[in-house]
């Protein structure tokens, strides 16, 4: 048995759940199209280029959660997962997850996207362990601030190491699947890095480092 780690957005999914959550809020008339949509697109481009200011992005994205009560947010989230996320599960995702289940590996989704958005997606995929950017709460609901270390770039490595220490796990035989330049720090740690459906820039890096490239989209 070994750790089998999976990025979520553009890896197990063919789109970005964080970005699409913002699009969903605009489409439902919950957030202003002219202002919110423009910022959402810009942050998405920054992430894709590996230049995202994570603190600024979290302030933008998580502030929405603080504006509404939990029940209302969860109603919107159920609609979002059913209508937007289910159709973009990559065709190869079920077989890949089943491959690691048959090996009796420990499956973990590890994603920069916040836990509120990704928790039901992990359940939909049948993955019990989720490491995501956590959102601070109080007696009134979400505060709009992150809690702890954001699960992004080197933060993914730190969050995983903390989890491994708590669960007495090691890197031996470990796997990690990701599409993103932002995940190079974690890909460097595992025994079996796998680059999934990368853009041309990341494909070149993977080839240079000898990291196998796979697709889940065919």
Residues with active-site annotation: 7, 9
| CB atoms near residue 136 (< 10 Å) | 14
Burial 7-26 (b: 16+ CB within 10 A, else e): bbbbbbbbbbbbbbbbbbbb
| CB atoms near residue 71 (< 10 Å) | 8
């Amino acid at each position: 048995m070994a750790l089998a780690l999976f990025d979520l957005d553009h890896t197990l999914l063919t789109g970005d759940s964080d970005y699409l959550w913002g699009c969903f809020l605009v489409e439902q008339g919950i957030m202003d199209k002219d202002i919110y949509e423009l910022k959402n697109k810009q942050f998405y481009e920054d992430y894709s280029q590996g230049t995202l200011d994570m603190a600024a992005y979290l302030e933008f994205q998580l502030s929405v959660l603080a504006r509404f009560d939990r029940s209302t947010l969860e109603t919107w989230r159920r609609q979002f997962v059913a209508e937007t996320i289910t159709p973009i599960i990559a065709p190869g995702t079920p077989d890949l997850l089943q491959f690691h289940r048959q090996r009796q590996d420990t499956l973990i989704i590890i994603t920069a996207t916040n836990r509120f958005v990704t928790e039901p997606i992990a359940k939909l995929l049948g993955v019990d362990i989720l490491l995501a950017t956590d959102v601070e709460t109080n007696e009134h609901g979400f505060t709009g601030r992150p809690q702890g270390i954001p699960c992004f770039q080197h933060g993914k490595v730190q969050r995983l190491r903390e989890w491994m220490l708590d669960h007495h796990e090691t890197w031996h035989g470990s796997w990690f699947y990701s599409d993103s330049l932002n995940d190079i720090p974690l890909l460097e740690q595992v025994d079996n890095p796998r680059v999934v459906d990368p853009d041309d820039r990341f494909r070149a890096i993977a080839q240079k480092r000898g990291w196998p490239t796979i697709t889940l989209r065919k």
